[in-house]
Amino acid sequence: MELPPRPKLFDFHGVSMTNYFTGNWDNVQNFQARPDDILIATYPKAGTTWVSYILDLLYFGQTAPERQRPIFEKVPFLELLIPLYPPGVEVLNNLTTSPRLIKTHLPVQLLPKSFWEQNCRIVYVARNAKDNAVSYFHFDRMNQAEPEPGDWNNFLQRFMDGKMVFGSWYDHVTGWWEKKQTHSKILYLFYEDMVEDTGRELDRLCSFLGLSPSAEEKERVRGGVQFDIMKKNSMANYSTNPVMDFKISPFMRKGKVGDWKNHFTVAQSEQFDEDYKKKMENTQLRFHTTI
Ligand code: A3P
């Protein structure tokens, strides 16, 4: 089956969305979380797949035969409703393994209430705005299920205006950050910290999840989730996903902190920084844009 033409953005409860993420809305909002569910929440392109794969290895190991499936099937995408695949909610409802690892890009205010009622553990991953924007641009170029990205300059302007699928980066990262201040079941990770010291962040994850893998197991996970290894792993690199054209750009593209310097002109960077200061002036949330 072929995908229809690229979707259009529209306003949905104050957040830019496409119908691939709103089409199943009643079922998403009524989704019944289970207490041991683990939710991986991110703004798109912040390191979702990386953390998903880490959790998959921590809970299910490298070799379990039933886990020899692509990561986007093992960690279902809650709000997804796209031709070619069963709806995320349906896949999740039929999952018998536990814990269920669940992916979402929803901003905090749109998360189904059941996750709060069941007090589920939530791992949020945030990535600095500039690298996040660059990664999103290349993703939208290669993914037929995303709106047309246009040229880089226009895309960047749209990013600053919050007119992206799943809305404003600024609102997303700060919304989840504020929630984390009062909710102890949210672990807020940074992509930059994971690149800087994956082992340290793995320790933080394990302690949040109440897991105590042996040093050997931890090392196996750390080794298996390195960028170059994951890029070659067809179960982790999205190469089996039919909506993506890797000839335009691979899913596992660069995996770096600071790649924005290869995309932003000096003028773009200055304008972005100035706008960023205004948008982020009321939050304590701080990012590294280089390491
Ligand atoms: P780049 O486009 O900058 O390379 P998501 O999974 O949220 O869609 O995020 C994708 C981004 O995470 C891509 O960024 C991808 O390369 C990066 N990524 C995925 N696995 C990674 C890993 N093991 N190490 C570093 N970056 C990784």
pLDDT reading at 153 higher than 80: yes
Rounded to an integer, the average pLDDT of 239-257 is 94
* H/E element, 103: strand 101-104
- Cα–ligand 1 centroid distance for 193 (angstroms): 13
Where does the pLDDT of residue 1 fall: very low under 50, low under 70, confident under 90, or very high at 90 and above? low
pLDDT reading at 150 higher than 90: yes
Reported as a single tens digit per residue, the pLDDT across 160-213 is: 999 999 999 999 999 999 999 999 999 999 999 999 999 999 999 999 999 999
Neighbours of 179 (CB within 10 A): 18
Whether 6 maps to a domain, the answer reads no
Whether 287 maps to a domain, the answer reads no
Closest by CA position to 16, among listed 120, 209, 189, 147: 147
Check residue 3 and give its pLDDT.
75
Identify whether the C-beta of residue 180 lies closer than 8 Å to the C-beta of residue 188: yes
Residue identifier of the C-alpha nearest atom 2 of ligand 1: 135
Where does the pLDDT of residue 215 fall: very low under 50, low under 70, confident under 90, or very high at 90 and above? very high
Look at the chain and report how many structural domains it folds into: 1
Check residue 211 and give its pLDDT.
97
Cα gap 107→173, rounded to integer Å: 8
pLDDT reading at 291 higher than 90: no
- The preferred substitution site among 253, 289, 291 for testing ligand 1, maximizing ligand atoms within 8 Å of CB, is 253
Whether 19 maps to a domain, the answer reads no
Check residue 2 and give its pLDDT.
72
Cα gap 72→29, rounded to integer Å: 21
Check residue 63 and give its pLDDT.
63
Q: Which atom of ligand 1 sits closest to the CA of residue 230?
A: 23
Rounded to an integer, the average pLDDT of 105-132 is 98
Is the interface score ipTM higher than 0.90? yes
Instruction: Tell whether ligand 1 has an atom less than 6 A from the beta carbon of residue 45.
Output: yes
Instruction: Tell whether ligand 1 has an atom less than 6 A from the beta carbon of residue 193.
Output: no
Check residue 66 and give its pLDDT.
66
Residue identifier of the C-alpha nearest atom 26 of ligand 1: 255
- The preferred substitution site among 43, 45, 48, 243 for testing ligand 1, maximizing ligand atoms within 8 Å of CB, is 45
- Cα–ligand 1 centroid distance for 251 (angstroms): 7
Catalytic residues: 105
Whether 7 maps to a domain, the answer reads no
Q: Which domain holds residue 50?
A: 25-279
Whether 225 maps to a domain, the answer reads yes
CATH of residue 41's domain is: 3.40.50.300
Whether 204 maps to a domain, the answer reads yes
Burial of 143 (0-12, 13-18, 19+ CB in 10 A): buried
Whether 285 maps to a domain, the answer reads no
Residue identifier of the C-alpha nearest atom 5 of ligand 1: 45
Rounded to an integer, the average pLDDT of 94-115 is 97
Reported as a single tens digit per residue, the pLDDT across 50-99 is: 999 999 999 998 666 667 889 999 999 999 999 889 999 999 999 998 99
Whether 44 maps to a domain, the answer reads yes
Rounded to an integer, the average pLDDT of 5-33 is 98
Instruction: Tell whether ligand 1 has an atom less than 6 A from the beta carbon of residue 132.
Output: no
Cα gap 84→11, rounded to integer Å: 25
